[in-house]
Amino acid sequence: MEQIGSNGQNETLETQELKDHAGQQVKIHGMIHKIRDMSGFAFVILRTKRDLVQGVFTKDSSTPDFASLQEGQSVVMQGEVVLNEKVMNGAEIQIQHLEILSRPADALPIVINRKQLDVPLDTNLSYRPISLRNEKERAIFKIQEGIARGFRDYLISQSFTEIRTPKIVFAGAEGGANIFKLDYFGKQVYLAQSPQFYKQTLVGVYERVFEIAPVYRAEKHDTARHLNEYISMDFEMGFIKDHTDIMAMEVGALKHVFSLLNKEYSKELALFNVKTPVFDTIPAIKFMEAKQILEQQYKRKVTDYYDFEPEEEQLICDYAKKKLGCDFIFITHYPSAKRPFYAMDDDNDPGTTKSFDLLYNGLEITTGGQRIHDYKQQVQKMLDRGMNPEDFESYLMIHRYGMPPHGGLGAGLERLTMKLLGFNNVRHAAMFPRDINRVTP
């Protein structure tokens, strides 16, 4: 019998501390990212958890033989730390020993060790297991980690409870055809398009809840902004006066996200020369106002008074940026006909809902609003739409037995990442994107 304690730390150094060890002998482990062979010496760049670390190999010091080194090997590098302002981390290692822990079987089929991965998107995605080893590619998802973490940390600070709701569901929340079907022991079930029913349900339990989890849309379009599986950052809260309480909570969350990114992810942001948006408030205009701005200020012939076309979202953001000085803009009061059956209508503005989208640099990244909490009102709206309330019996329990006024939103993590980093295709912001043509790797 053995006893296992929690002291299983590696005895090698975390590379962000390198500078503090100037003049000392250290061990660092990592994968060989790049070898630059000079005359008489070589640079061996290690890829560690979050850094690239430069080692200098003097060819006559010579354990092991330089010729045995190869990109893709996992090694422990031992040597003296020497300050050097010109390199990453402000220090490099004069290599005295390199222990090889594992070796690749083949040389890489694409170049991953230049700053920018210089291959077409489709090649990048097909080789994802190794293209993600590129410095900038992996930084994207480190930043994405930070966005989700900031969203979560903020909501926890606001007394939200984190929930995990099922993705195998008996009914779709959004309706329509873009839902994946699944055989479940002989029953037809679906993959959740959103945690809508469950997060509303849990407002009746915890008042404020959030979830960061995958959702599924069987989109048949092959566009630059749709994924068939994506990460939705959802929250839902009770005891609101109207949809503006939800919007205010999102403004707070976004500010916290950008503040966390600047504090803990500046290294990765710097690779993209990205500055996070600065704002104190986010402007909000009504849907019909936005359409008027398109017609009057952008001379656009508006044909669809129920939704925005992608180009219109871009023009509205152009307006927000130039006239209102903000990268973000809320659009409120979407037409009732285009919002789901659970959306709360606005009696002061007939035909519209207490709903909103948030646009960011030309793209919708959030949809939210107040929901109906009254049982009769919800049943009536279902009947008006030709839905059968009996199909939603368990969902309607919350209305039947009492719900506070409430609302919430869903924000797309990949879209937010995409727009922050200035990508033209959301697939750049998905580690392993699923679209109509791709389910591998």
Q: Does 31 bind its own copies (CB under 8 A)?
A: yes
185 part of the interface to its own copies, by CB under 8 A: yes
Q: Under rule CB under 8 A, which residues in 344-363 are in contact with its own copies?
A: none
Q: Which is nearer to its own copies, 86 or 187 (CB)?
A: 187
Residue ranges in 410-439 that form contacts with its own copies under rule CB under 8 A: 413, 431-432, 434, 436, 439
Which of residues 66 and 330 has its CB atom nearest to its own copies in the complex? 330
**Window of 34-42, 54-62, 243-251, 334-342 that interacts with its own copies by CB under 8 A:** 243-251
| Contact call for residue 440 and its own copies (CB under 8 A) | yes
**Residue 177 C-beta: closest distance to its own copies, Å:** 13
The arrangement of strands across the sheet holding 229-238 comes to: 161-162, 208-216, 229-238, 406-412, 363-371, 355-360, 328-332
Please name the residues in contact with 341: beta carbons below 8 A apart, sequence gap of 6 or more: 175, 378, 381, 382, 385, 387
Closest CA to 31 of 78, 87, 72: 72
Q: Is 257 in the site for its own copies (CB under 8 A)?
A: no
Per DSSP, helices labelled H in 7-120 are none
What does the per-residue mask of binding to its own copies show for 141-170, with x meaning CB under 8 A?
Answer: xx-xx--xx---------x-xxxxxxxxxx
* Interface with its own copies, residue 275, by CB under 8 A: no
**Please, which contacts does 249-255 make with residues 24 or more away whose CB atoms are closer than 8 Å?**
249/155, 249/158, 250/358, 250/366, 250/368, 250/409, 250/411, 251/281, 251/282, 252/154, 252/158, 253/150, 253/151, 253/154, 253/155, 254/282, 254/328, 255/279
Residue 220 or residue 385: which is nearer to its own copies going by CB?
220
Per-residue CA distances from 351 to 243, 258, 288, 380 (Å): 16, 36, 11, 16
User: CA dist 43 to 59, 82, 134, Å?
Assistant: 10, 14, 18
- For the window 287-306, what string marks contact with its own copies as x by the rule CB under 8 A? --x-----------------
Give the Cα separation of 352 and 61 in Å (integer).
76
* 21 binds its own copies per the rule CB under 8 A: no
Minimum CB distance to its own copies smaller for 82 or for 100: 100
- Please pick, from the candidates 13, 18, 29, 382, the single residue that binds its own copies as defined by CB under 8 A: 29
Instruction: Considering only residues 69 through 88, tell me which ones interact with its own copies, judged by CB under 8 A.
Output: 71-74
Q: Is 4 in the site for its own copies (CB under 8 A)?
A: yes
CB atoms within 10 A of CB 296: 9
DSSP 8-state class, residue 350: T
- Mark residue 147 as left, alpha or beta (left: phi above 0; alpha: psi -120 to 50; beta: remaining): alpha
Q: Could you tell me how many residues of this chain bind its own copies (CB under 8 A)?
A: 124
Q: Counting contacts by CB under 8 A, is residue 266 touching its own copies? A: no
Residue 2 or 60 with smaller CB distance to its own copies: 2
- Footprint on residues 106-145 left by its own copies (CB under 8 A): 106, 108-109, 126-130, 132-133, 138, 141-142, 144-145
- Asked if 178 is part of the footprint of its own copies (rule: CB under 8 A), the reply reads no
